[in-house]
Amino acid sequence: MTETPFPTSFLWGSATAAFQIEGAHDQDGRTPSIWDTFARVPGAVLDGDTGDVACDHYHRVEEDVDLMASLNLDAYRFSTSWARVRPDGGEPNQRGVDFYARLVDTLLDRGITPWVTLYHWDLPQVLEDAGGWTNRDTAHRFADYALTLHDALGDRVPYWTTLNEPWCSAFLGYTGGQHAPGRQEGVAGLVAAHHLMLGHGLVVDELRRRGVDGREGGQVGITLNLTVPEPFDPTEPADVSASHRVEHLFNRVFLDPILRGSYAEEIHELTEGLCWRGHPWQSAIRDGDLALIGAPIDVLGVNYYHGDAASGRPHRDADLLGSRIRHPSRETTSPYPGGEAITFPRRGLPVTGLDWEVQPEGLTDLLVALNDDYDLPAVYVTENGAAYPDVVADDGTVDDPERLAFVAGHLRAVHAAIEKGVDVRGYFVWSLLDNFEWAYGYDQRFGIVHVDYETQQRTPKSSALWYSRVAAEGIL
Ligand code: IFM
């Protein structure tokens, strides 16, 4: 195979999220988040796993940053825990802030660029008790929390992501119930999505006032999980319509407000008549919201795992809810508000351990389509990776050729997009460590580094060793 050189400034990183790795759930002032609560609901998480200890990263910052340095990472994308920094959504907690200050300083000492994600799904439970993301006030509390962190770290963190994958927070959390807080309230997902984006807009606005200028003052943006939908059978009107709904209610419900400052007409058509507490859900949209939400950003983070063949018909081998959102041990509902259930039949593509289709060329298609359709800021692939059932050999090594091939294939897809003119500036493999995979608990391993949850021993898998070489040389 020919060598594939990336631009010399390309950022090579890996990503994690607070709840998935930190543990220390009740230490130094942290209070419960919605995931602490949800994980205790019988059946919500496979095997009753919780995030109480997770990878114990809270107590292993130095060791973990040394590991990143040994893997030649340029950048580390991590999320901060709102419930640690502002427990119960209230006053700042210095011990929580200090933890992230120590992490950032340790990264900088080792020459690794810190990239903060402010919200990766772990809302303080007390705010959920007040309505969570269906309550407009949560967006304002989010801005308060973001400023606490920016006041402390703004002088040394160059990249600020407001939200990670708000589709999951809104529609898995409030419509389908696959994720915390586990509400299955149909149209509530649309209201939550709007308030999440409002929170994003408020934070962008505040950070701009504080000198985040897209240059030396730092960059701000959002990370969306995006799919490449297509009709399972393009000659079947029901499948064409299902694909259209996925395109709008998964991708464009966020892309248009954020990159164009408006909801597409199709969103209103697809959600016509859907009411929240007796009023059309659009009553959540107030004057001025879309100007805030659509204010220019410096970075669009794209998380891509697979595309989706959507169908409006039943299929024997299809997940009713779609591969990424099947719940392993709980009755849930469709995360697509309104309309008929959408099914996601298999296309015969290879699949990962989570049964997610492997479709690397979809990433090129997605990036090129985004570039064609929108006036994009700089793009980073902020997550991509795969869960496979890894085996620890007798000599302690972990050989994971499938994950290595998955990442290599997707990096080639990124390279192809760059060659087609998309300004992709970096790639973050998901994930640095095996960790708490939400409803699947510790059952699914996404790490390039294996974690033994009994001993907390970290072992770089063969994919990590390969990735460290690619990151060092910038050549695939
Ligand atoms: O583990 C998650 C992550 O938290 C968000 N993006 C998808 C990953 C794999 O499911």
- Residue 246 is inside which H or E element, if any? helix 237-246
The protein residue whose alpha carbon is closest to atom 5 in ligand 1 is 165
Distance 259 CA to ligand 1 centre (A): 23
pLDDT tens, residue order, the chain (476 aa): 578 899 999 999 999 999 999 999 999 999 999 999 999 999 999 999 999 999 999 999 999 999 999 999 999 999 999 999 999 999 999 999 999 999 999 999 999 999 999 999 999 999 999 999 999 999 999 999 999 999 999 999 999 999 999 999 999 999 999 999 999 999 999 999 999 999 999 999 999 999 999 999 999 999 999 999 999 999 999 999 999 999 999 999 999 999 999 999 999 999 999 999 999 999 999 999 999 999 999 999 999 999 999 999 988 765 544 444 567 777 888 899 998 888 888 899 999 999 899 999 999 999 999 999 999 999 999 999 999 999 999 999 999 999 999 999 999 999 999 999 999 999 999 999 999 999 999 999 999 999 999 999 999 999 999 999 999 999 99
Residue 339's pLDDT is: 84
Annotated catalytic residue, options 165, 185, 230, 402: 165
Sole residue written with tokens 């072992």? 459
Q: Buried (b) or exposed (e) across 334-370, using 16+ Cβ within 10 A?
A: bbbbbeeebbbbbeeeeebbbebbbbbebbbbbbeeb
Annotated catalytic residue, options 22, 357, 383, 402: 383
Q: Which atom of ligand 1 is nearest to the CA of 387?
A: 9
Strand partners, 76: 14, 114
Distance 126 CA to ligand 1 centre (A): 24
Q: Which atom of ligand 1 is nearest to the CA of 435?
A: 1
Q: Which atom of ligand 1 is nearest to the CA of 354?
A: 10
Q: Does the CB atom of residue 383 touch ligand 1 within 6 A?
A: yes
Q: Of 383, 390, 397, 398, nearest to 444 (Cα)?
A: 390
Q: Does the CB atom of residue 165 touch ligand 1 within 6 A?
A: yes
Q: How far is CA 107 from CA 116, 292, 314, in A?
A: 12, 32, 50
Residue 295's pLDDT is: 98
Question: Which residues fall within 8 angstroms of residue 98, CB to CB, at 6 or more apart?
Answer: none
Q: Of 36, 15, 131, nearest to 82 (Cα)?
A: 36
Q: Does the CB atom of residue 303 touch ligand 1 within 6 A?
A: yes
Extract the tokens encoding 118.
């402010």
The protein residue whose alpha carbon is closest to atom 1 in ligand 1 is 437
Residue 314's pLDDT is: 83
Q: Is 236 a catalytic residue?
A: no
Residue 238's pLDDT is: 96
Cis peptide before 262 (omega within 30 of 0): no
Distance 272 CA to ligand 1 centre (A): 31
* Measured distance CA(35)–CA(128) in Å, rounded: 11
* Measured distance CA(416)–CA(408) in Å, rounded: 12
| Residue 442 DSSP code | G
Q: Which atom of ligand 1 is nearest to the CA of 120?
A: 4
The protein residue whose alpha carbon is closest to atom 10 in ligand 1 is 437
Q: CATH number for 11-473: choose from 3.20.20.80, 3.90.1150.10, 3.30.70.20, 2.40.30.60.
A: 3.20.20.80
For the chain, domain boundaries: 11-473
- Helix axes of 137-153 and 94-109: crossing angle, nearest 10 degrees: 50
Ligand 1 pocket test: which of 327, 436, 437, 445 has the largest number of ligand atoms within 8 Å of its C-beta? 437
Distance 178 CA to ligand 1 centre (A): 13
Distance 104 CA to ligand 1 centre (A): 22
* Measured distance CA(281)–CA(174) in Å, rounded: 14
Residue 346's pLDDT is: 87
SS3 169: helix
Q: Which atom of ligand 1 is nearest to the CA of 383?
A: 6
Q: Is 206 a catalytic residue?
A: no
CA angle 153, 226, 436 (to 5 degrees): 60
Cβ atoms within 10 A of the Cβ of 184, count? 17
Q: Does the CB atom of residue 430 touch ligand 1 within 6 A?
A: yes
Extract the tokens encoding 148.
């606490």
Q: Does the CB atom of residue 17 touch ligand 1 within 6 A?
A: yes
